[in-house]
Structure 1
Amino acid sequence: MSFSTTTAGLRLAAFVAVPVLALTVACGGSDDVTGTRSHDAVADVPSPKGGSSEGASTANTPSAPSSPSAPSEKSAGKSAYYDAQVAFVQCMRAKGGYKDYPDPKLSGHLDWDKINRIGSQPGRNEGIKAGKNNVCVDELQAAMAVEPKRDQQKSYESMLAHAQCMRDNGISRFTNPVMSGGNAVPGGDPNPASPVYDPASPAYKEAREACASKLLDGLDGMQ
């Protein structure tokens, strides 16, 4: 499947607003794994409603959909971040073109594993981040505005371990994250504008599954 400078929104934040989003240490081998990706490469920024959006990363096939009317686990006792993410999910289901968009986790973070599975289906990648024609961009921005701050150093170390794991599992050119302006910027494909890897390929899926535990909650789907 980019407004506040908070780190939990890393890749999401990158596509919605400023490239401060944080969502691969050096590794061996002869491939280019220095990890110095350009910040523009990770910032797929959808413009406000009416603009176009870039595709999200992909994975397997979708799980069973939740009720399209309201995500489960919604209650008055949830945090502002969780409640804002619930509003975003409701928009994605009602107006964004994804009736099976998954509930946020209890932490408030989106469930990128399930989102990526949906986006990997033919014809279902467009709009996976903010709805078709960015119809849910306002709700996404609202959620990012109340997103809890994340320890950037811990985020960097988590993504670094993940990048090393990806390379160890056959994705040899997967780049390291970098620290920029105090924020952890994700690594990943060495050339996002013309991807080297197909996230839907069996080899890539296997590597992601093997390395999923390296990423802290909220960083899954960021690189």
Structure 2
Amino acid sequence: MDMRTPSRAAGRLRLAALVALPVLVFSAACGSGGDGLKTGEDIASVPGDTASGSQDTAGSGTQGGAGDKGAFYDAQMTYVQCMRGKGGIKDFPDPKLSGYLDWTKIDELARRPGNQEASKGGKKGVCGTEMSAAMRLEPKRDVQKEYESFLAHATCMRKHGVSKFANPTLSGGNVMPGGDPNPAAPGIDTDSPAYKQARQACKDKLLDGLDGMQ
């Protein structure tokens, strides 16, 4: 993997290992092999018994408490301040008004020399505790809507030329984001003009808070 351009999924997966939070553990490689790749219009529905929005979804924070958006935003600001301080990323961006991190800006920041840790919770994951606290307060999200959002985005990405972009899957009631079928040996060039154009064209397919997960 090109360490100059760490993927969103890889960065969050490394952070999840540091903070040991199952709710954060996800990978675009899980269950997203060639057999699951569809090239036509996909039916946006969740297979299996996953209709309940109370299911925990990978990376979505559905394990959260009362869904207090103010508390979620405050917790994210605490994480941001940690990243700017002991995390060593002084330009780490503010969260969006919804409380979710702006992964487009974080990715851009992580591409700058010396800022590779921007997508990994700071140097040596030093801000993992603060991120964990924020994730526990993330508002609950309906599992089916999250799956549909990932699926619509994956379909859009393929229609815009990223043919290897895999669909999301479900594992143990959790939504596993799609994307590169093998992040350990990336087959999708995320720095290519075609990929960037597809990301721009398909960004509105993702629900707020999912933009950095697929």
TM-score by structure 1 length?
Answer: 0.68
Whole-angstrom CA distance in 2 between matches of 1:150 and 1:178 = 17
Q: Does residue 27 of the first structure (1) align with residue 18 of the second (2)?
A: no
1:120–1:200 Cα contact (<8 Å) kept: no
State the 1:138 CA deviation.
0.9
Q: Secondary structure at the match of 2:99?
A: coil
Structure 2 unaligned segments of length 5 or more: list them: 1-5, 41-57, 59-67
Q: Does residue 93 of the first structure (1) align with residue 84 of the second (2)?
A: yes
Q: Secondary structure at the match of 1:126?
A: helix
Between Structure 1 and Structure 2, how many residues are aligned?
169
Alignment of 1:175-186 (within 5 A): 175-186=166-177
State the 1:12 CA deviation.
4.2
Q: Does residue 115 of the first structure (1) align with residue 99 of the second (2)?
A: no
Structure 1 unaligned segments of length 5 or more: list them: 2-10, 30-42, 44-76
Q: Does residue 131 of the first structure (1) align with residue 122 of the second (2)?
A: yes
Whole-angstrom CA distance in 2 between matches of 1:15 and 1:186 = 16
Whole-angstrom CA distance in 2 between matches of 1:213 and 1:78 = 21
State the 1:127 CA deviation.
4.5
Q: Does residue 173 of the first structure (1) align with residue 184 of the second (2)?
A: no
Change (3 A) 1:98 1:209: same
Change (3 A) 1:20 1:126: closer
Change (3 A) 1:125 1:212: same
Instruction: Describe the superposition over 1:94-116 as per-residue Cα deviations: whole angstroms up to 9, x where unpaired.
Output: 11121111111111110111111
Whole-angstrom CA distance in 2 between matches of 1:197 and 1:14 = 20
State the 1:201 CA deviation.
2.0
- Matched with 2:180 is 189
1:84–1:143 Cα contact (<8 Å) kept: yes
- Matched with 1:210 is 201
Specify the code of the residue in structure 1 equivalent to 2:81.
Answer: Q
1:20–1:185 Cα contact (<8 Å) kept: no
CA-based RMSD: 2.7
State the 1:197 CA deviation.
1.4
1:22–1:183 Cα contact (<8 Å) kept: no
Q: Secondary structure at the match of 2:158?
A: helix
